[in-house]
Amino acid sequence: MLPLEVEELATDAEHRSAGVVAAHATKMMHRRSCLMYSISDFPATCADGQQPVGKPRACHVPPNAPRGIPIETPGFIGEVLMMHAPDEPPAAGFEVAADVPAFSEYFQGRHRRWEFRIQGRFRRRPEGNLYFGIALRDFNYNQAVARSSLAVKRLGLMFIKWKVHMAWGDRCESALQRDAELSHLVTDLTGFDQIIVTPEGEPPPPITARLEGLGFERAVLGYKSYKQEADSLSRAISLSDTYTFCFWGPSRNVDLLRWQFNFGATIPMDRFFQEWPLHFVLYELDERPLESKQPNTSSNGARHLESRKRYYLDIMGWSTKVDCSHLAQKYTFLDAPGGIEEEMAAEMAASGTAGGGDCRPFNFSKAQTPQGTNKGSRDCLAKTQWMVPPLLSVRFVHLFALFALLWSAFWPGVHGVTVSQ
């Protein structure tokens, strides 16, 4: 095939991919929401040794879906659910069921504004330490980090009493290396707010059900006991058990719908991330001191290079307020698998709601948690822990200074403080 024809095909594929994202955003024009995508193919530089054909596939994860969205990667298979509270309280007099935002009942009386749930089985047993958190895979690294920012980072890390890896990532010429480090803010499995393990042969709780009192909850056990449970679980991952991970900790301060930080004052997130998405990642890291590996030169642990990682999950997201259409140059965007897009559109059409999207009501009575023996089940009141978002550009120096002051007073594990719901 002639080079010109190859270029034309690539351009057509990019336009189709951009059209898919535009269609997903159009469905949500009636209210603020977020666009989420599960990455199926990981970079060839990672330890998996994958050589993906073409661009990585990014499958849509519609928010507030009536059921879990299937996900499958080389290391994990299952489903994911992204729930968020209504952007604004429903207006008085709403009588049409379809006008009531999905999961609005679930979020009533809670401080959390959104919640991720991931449920499924591991396809390989981790050999290294597992890390969960936020990374910037897509970002403009052609900017240096100010010395003042580095100093503030060191100050902030002094307040943290547990394992966390925070890195600005390689910048400028160093960022062009094939194995450059990304910006990270990750920790171990304690980064999840709740973990439920369902033994083989038992039905896991529906991913859309209320999960209070099941499994291990960080705010109920306290950080120290929760870490012991999480570390024990991490060392004994089973390929036959079903794992349910829930994450909502920073949701009261990180507004994904409005794309802003809420710390008393409102701070637009696009000032710092520009037009780049966040990546919620779960991976294992080879931290063995091999000669072929780069030495541990980071002040807070080994460098998290792509060649040292094995990814299990990578879920990318941004607000509908942000224009990330340029990402079609890097990813092949696809509809959600399993016909969920058509199912949601049909339900919206049947209810007479224009635009489709994420405003389907959800009845929790139809998805009650089954009575079973999930490991670590405890009856408790749900609370959460704060988690600071990644600090990734020169402009973050002032925000990070604010975090440093807040950490000592508010982050659980430092003084034992927890934040309700």
Q: pLDDT digit string (tens) for 142-187?
A: 888 766 566 656 655 665 666 788 888 999 988 888 888 999 889 9
Give 412-415 contacts, CB < 8 A, sequence gap 24+.
412/218, 412/219, 412/222, 412/223, 412/385, 412/386, 413/160, 413/161, 413/162, 413/223, 413/224, 413/385, 414/159, 414/160, 414/161
Beta bridge partners of 115: 83
pLDDT for res 156: 58
Weakly modelled stretches of the chain, pLDDT under 50 = 90-91, 93-100, 292-295, 297-300, 354-373, 376-421
Beta bridge partners of 118: 80, 245
Ramachandran assignment for 141, one of left (phi > 0), alpha (psi -120 to 50 degrees), beta (any other): alpha
**Nearest CA among 256, 207, 240, 233 for reference residue 71:** 207
Please give the single-letter amino acid code of residue 282.
L
Helix (H, G, I), strand (E, B) or coil at 60: strand
Distance, in Å, from the CA atom of 181 to the CA atom of 305, rounded to the nearest integer, reads: 5
Distance, in Å, from the CA atom of 52 to the CA atom of 44, rounded to the nearest integer, reads: 7
Read off the tokens for 63.
Answer: 């928010």
**Nearest CA among 254, 318, 272 for reference residue 28:** 318
Ramachandran assignment for 259, one of left (phi > 0), alpha (psi -120 to 50 degrees), beta (any other): left
pLDDT for res 69: 96
Read off the tokens for 380.
Answer: 């408790």
pLDDT for res 188: 95
Cβ 205 vs Cβ 211: under 8 Å: yes
**What does the domain layout of the chain look like in residue ranges?**
3-146+163-388
pLDDT for res 283: 97
Pairing of strands 332-334, 57-60: parallel
Distance, in Å, from the CA atom of 358 to the CA atom of 344, rounded to the nearest integer, reads: 8
pLDDT for res 70: 96
pLDDT for res 9: 62
Read off the tokens for 6.
Answer: 């190859």
